[in-house]
C-alpha cells in the first residue's frame, strides 16, 4: 500500500498544473521534426522512454540519499517522524492553497530551441527536467522523499522513489503515443483542477499526520484490510 501511495503521488504530479498544460510541448520535442506518422510515433515512444529514464535516475538517487539520511539517524526515530510529517502537512496545505510557498510555486521555462531529440539526448533532457523542475513538482516529490527518510533504509528509499518515478513516467510514455486520444481527458482534468488539488492536498495532510504521530504503518494496514 505504501508503494501504491507513492505511485499515486507520481500520477498526481503528472496531472498537476506544472506539467499537464505543457504536455503537448513535451510531445512535440519527443516527436521532433519527423513528418512520417509511423516514424513520429516511434520517435515519440523511444524519446519519452529516454526522458522518463533520465528523471528516474535523478529521483532514485535522491531517494537513496533520503534513505541513507534516515538510516544514519534512525536512533532519533521520533524526531524524524515529527519533522517529516510536519513537512508533508505543509506540502499538503500548500497544495490545497491555504498558503503558498514561493519556492514550491516556481517553474522552469523550457528551452524552445530543443529539437530532434534522440534517445541519449532525451535521457539528458529528463535529468535536466528532474533538477530544474524540482521546485515545481516539489510538493509530491518532497512528500515521497519524506517517506523515504522515514523508511530509514537505503534500498527501500531508492525503491520508493523509483515507484514514484514510474507513477510520473508511465503517463508520459502513454500520452506521447496517444496524445490525440486523451485530449478530452486532459480537458476534464484541467476543468476540475481545484477539486483534484484539494483531494490531493488532503491525502498529503493525512499522510503527514500519520507520519508525525508514528501511525503510518497502522494507516497502511487499515487501508489494505
**Per residue of the chain (225 residues), what is the pLDDT tens digit?**
678 888 988 888 888 777 777 777 777 777 765 555 555 667 788 888 999 999 999 999 999 998 887 777 666 667 777 887 888 888 788 778 787 766 555 544 454 445 556 888 889 888 888 876 666 666 778 888 888 888 778 898 899 999 999 999 999 888 888 876 766 776 777 788 788 778 888 888 888 888 788 776 565 555 444
- What are the backbone angles phi and psi of residue 39, rounded to the nearest 5°? -65, -35
Sign of CA dihedral 55, 58, 64, 65: negative
Q: Are 212 and 85 spatial neighbours (Cβ–Cβ below 8 Å)?
A: yes
pTM value?
A: 0.75
Cell of 52: 522518463
Amino acid at each position: 500500500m505504501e508503494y501504491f501511495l507513492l505511485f499515486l503521488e507520481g500520477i498526481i504530479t503528472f496531472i498537476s498544473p506544472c506539467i499537464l498544460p505543457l504536455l503537448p510541448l513535451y510531445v512535440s520535442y519527443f516527436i521532433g521534426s519527423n513528418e512520417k506518422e509511423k516514424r513520429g510515433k516511434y520517435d515519440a515512444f523511444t524519446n519519452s522512454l529516454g526522458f522518463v529514464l533520465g528523471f528516474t535516475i535523478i529521483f532514485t538517487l535522491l531517494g537513496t540519499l533520503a534513505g541513507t539520511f534516515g538510516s544514519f539517524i534512525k536512533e532519533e526515530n521520533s524526531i524524524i517522524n515529527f519533522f517529516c510529517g510536519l513537512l508533508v502537512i505543509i506540502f499538503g496545505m500548500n497544495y490545497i492553497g491555504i498558503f503558498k510557498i514561493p519556492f514550491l510555486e516556481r517553474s522552469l521555462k523550457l528551452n524552445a530551441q530543443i529539437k530532434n531529440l534522440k534517445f541519449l539526448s532525451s535521457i539528458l533532457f529528463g535529468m535536466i527536467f528532474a533538477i530544474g523542475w524540482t521546485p515545481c513538482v516539489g510538493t509530491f516529490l518532497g512528500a515521497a522523499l519524506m517517506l523515504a527518510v522515514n523508511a530509514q533504509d537505503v534500498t527501500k528509499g531508492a525503491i520508493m522513489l523509483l515507484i514514484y518515478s514510474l507513477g510520473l513516467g508511465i503517463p508520459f510514455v502513454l500520452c506521447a503515443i496517444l496524445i490525440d486520444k486523451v485530449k478530452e481527458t486532459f480537458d476534464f482534468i484541467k476543468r476540475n483542477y481545484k477539486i483534484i488539488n484539494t483531494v490531493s492536498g488532503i491525502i498529503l495532510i493525512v499522510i503527514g499526520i500519520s507520519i508525525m504521530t508514528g501511525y503510518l504503518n497502522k494507516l497502511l494496514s487499515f487501508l489494505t484490510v
